[in-house]
């Protein structure tokens, strides 16, 4: 019998969340298209699995790795594919062209590679402007040089303008995005024909809260996988469905008395007689080691909490008020019935990290 832990991936929920994002975008622009962001192995859900689930509905797929883009093409994906960090060396350009990929261009060095590329290369690009995220993107003072390089490069095909919001998930209302929109508008003002170029601005938070940012293409990421991008609003209230449910079982039960401790370092000390359930899940499975005692967990559909420190292969939970639960009782670490966002908050992180950290040793089943 295999170890009783698995991650169940509900592909229908993934489709639901993608289509929800596209409907939100359509409130502002009925023609808006949506990239399905499948970077980081589809946020831990499986690249090819996610692509197969969305293959007949997604307008395009966005990711980071050139090899993963090639895998999508070779798996039969025919929609546009966007490389969110673009290409890293000149040799990548021929691969991008051969597999009909679109590349983000975020620095002058990438533009220079395109200018020097041999004919007949012609690559569609997303020109990324830095409006305040200060991560990737071209600055306002670089734009005259950018326009010169674009004009001098026959290797540049269709151009789309993009930026990335730093605070769309904040609680300050429209001012969270207004300052970047103002910078974006200022950066492209005076740019001949810029008003006719397609635009891509909205991430998950902006799609859900600021549909006016939905221009030609939106880029839903965490919302696809059922995570809320907001600290002040849960996924269910946004009509997002959980895609990944991490499930396990109780391996053993310990009855401990007052003053006895649980786990490494004895960080949990029983103040009353306590019934302890030992769960087949630990940080080697992707559960956050830094999750403190008191992190929520479901046992046989009932809510309880973890006890003590997370081990490599096990963690403990409180069964004192769950007398009907024991060895082999089912456990949900996050997912259906227990939002990943809530577990992540208790652990001082975000659901993105929980999903992406799922270990390869955890079996994945589709449901």
**Per-residue pLDDT tens digits for 294-351:** 999 999 999 999 999 999 999 999 999 999 999 999 999 999 999 999 999 999 999 9
pLDDT at 119: 81
CB-CB contact of 307 with 262 (8 Å): yes
Where a domain ends, among 171, 192, 227?
227
**In this structure, are strands 274-279 and 199-200 parallel, antiparallel, or unpaired?**
unpaired
The helix/strand/coil state of 99 is coil
**pLDDT > 90 fraction of the chain, expressed in percent and rounded:** 94
Identify whether residues 257 and 336 lie together within a single domain. yes
Say if 238 falls within a structural domain. no
Say if 232 falls within a structural domain. no
Identify whether residues 259 and 176 lie together within a single domain. no
Spatial CA neighbour of 113 closest among 135, 89, 130, 148: 89
Catalytic residue among 10, 33, 39, 128: 39
pLDDT at 52: 96
pLDDT tens by residue, 232-285: 999 999 999 999 999 999 999 999 999 999 999 999 999 999 999 999 999 999
pTM for the structure as a whole: 0.95
Helices vs. strands in the chain: H and E counts, helices first: 11, 18
Identify whether residues 323 and 277 lie together within a single domain. yes
pLDDT at 341: 97
In this structure, what token pair is assigned to residue 226?
Answer: 């059922």
Say if 257 falls within a structural domain. yes
In this structure, what token pair is assigned to residue 334?
Answer: 């996050």
In DSSP notation, 253-286 reads EEEE-TT-EESGGG-EE-SS-EEEEEES--GGGT
**In this structure, are strands 81-83 and 315-318 parallel, antiparallel, or unpaired?**
unpaired
C-alpha distance across the termini of the chain, in Å: 21
Mean pLDDT of the chain: 96
**Cα 77-71-42 angle, rounded to 5 deg:** 80
pLDDT at 193: 78
pLDDT tens by residue, 109-125: 999 999 999 888 999 99
Identify whether residues 261 and 223 lie together within a single domain. no
In this structure, of 76-80, 189-193, 289-293, the range with the lowest mean pLDDT score is: 189-193
In this structure, the chain runs to a length of 367
Identify whether residues 201 and 166 lie together within a single domain. yes
What residues are paired with 22 via a beta bridge? none
Say if 256 falls within a structural domain. yes
Active site residue 39: yes
Q: Hey, CA dihedral for 150, 154, 155, 158, is it positive or negative? A: positive
CB-CB contact of 84 with 64 (8 Å): yes
Q: What is the dihedral of CA 346, 348, 349, 354, to 10 degrees?
A: -40
pLDDT at 351: 97
Could you say which DSSP state residue 294 is in? Answer: T
Look at the chain and report how many structural domains it folds into.
2
Identify whether residues 345 and 248 lie together within a single domain. yes
Identify whether residues 223 and 249 lie together within a single domain. no
Where a domain ends, among 227, 252, 284?
227
pLDDT at 191: 85
CA distance 188 to 140: 9
Identify whether residues 150 and 79 lie together within a single domain. yes
pLDDT tens by residue, 55-93: 999 999 999 999 999 999 999 999 999 999 999 999 999
Identify whether residues 218 and 257 lie together within a single domain. no
pLDDT tens by residue, 131-172: 999 999 999 999 999 999 998 899 999 999 999 999 999 988
Say if 3 falls within a structural domain. no
Find the helix or strand (DSSP H, E) in which 104 lies.
Answer: strand 102-105
Which alpha helices (H) appear in the chain, and where do they start and end?
11-26, 39-43, 47-54, 66-74, 91-98, 108-116, 143-151, 175-188, 204-209, 340-346, 351-356
What CA–CA distances, in Å, run from 331 to 60, 286, 309, 346? 36, 15, 18, 18
By residue range, what is the domain housing residue 123? 11-227
pLDDT tens by residue, 194-246: 778 999 999 999 999 998 999 999 999 999 999 999 999 999 999 999 999 99
Spatial CA neighbour of 136 closest among 93, 107, 97, 165: 107
């Amino acid at each position: 019998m295999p170890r009783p832990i698995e991650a169940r991936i509900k592909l229908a929920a993934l489709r639901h969340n993608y289509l929800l994002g596209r409907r939100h975008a359509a409130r502002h622009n009925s023609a808006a298209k949506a990239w399905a962001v499948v970077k980081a192995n589809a946020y831990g859900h499986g690249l090819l699995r996610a692509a197969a689930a969305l293959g007949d509905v997604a307008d395009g797929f966005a990711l980071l790795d050139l090899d993963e883009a090639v895998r999508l093409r070779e798996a039969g994906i025919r929609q546009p594919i966007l490389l969110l960090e673009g290409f890293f060396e000149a040799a990548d350009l021929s691969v991008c062209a051969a597999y009909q990929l679109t590349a983000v261009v975020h620095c002058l060095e990438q533009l220079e590679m395109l200018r020097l590329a041999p004919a007949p290369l012609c690559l569609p690009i997303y020109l990324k402007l830095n409006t305040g995220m200060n991560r990737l993107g071209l600055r306002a003072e670089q734009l005259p040089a950018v326009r010169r390089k674009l004009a001098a490069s026959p290797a540049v095909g269709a151009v789309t303008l993009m930026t990335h919001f730093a605070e769309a998930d904040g609680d300050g209302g429209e001012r969270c995005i207004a300052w970047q929109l103002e910078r974006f508008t200022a950066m492209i003002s005076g740019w001949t024909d810029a008003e006719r170029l397609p635009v891509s601005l909205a991430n998950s938070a902006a799609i859900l809260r600021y549909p006016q940012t939905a221009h030609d293409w939106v880029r839903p990421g965490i919302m696809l996988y059922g995570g809320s991008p907001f600290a002040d609003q849960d996924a269910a209230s946004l009509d997002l469905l959980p895609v990944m449910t991490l499930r396990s079982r109780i391996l053993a039960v310990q009855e401990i008395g007052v003053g006895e401790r649980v786990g490494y370092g004895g960080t949990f000390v029983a103040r009353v007689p306590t019934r302890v359930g030992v769960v087949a899940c630990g940080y080697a499975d992707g559960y956050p080691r830094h999750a403190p005692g008191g992190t929520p967990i479901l046992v046989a559909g009932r809510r309880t909490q973890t006890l003590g420190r997370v081990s490599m292969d096990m963690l403990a939970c409180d069964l004192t008020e769950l007398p009907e639960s024991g060895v082999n009782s089912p456990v949900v670490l996050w997912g259906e019935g227990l939002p990943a966002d809530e577990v992540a908050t208790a652990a001082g992180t975000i659901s993105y990290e929980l999903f992406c950290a799922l270990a390869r040793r955890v079996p994945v089943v589709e449901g």
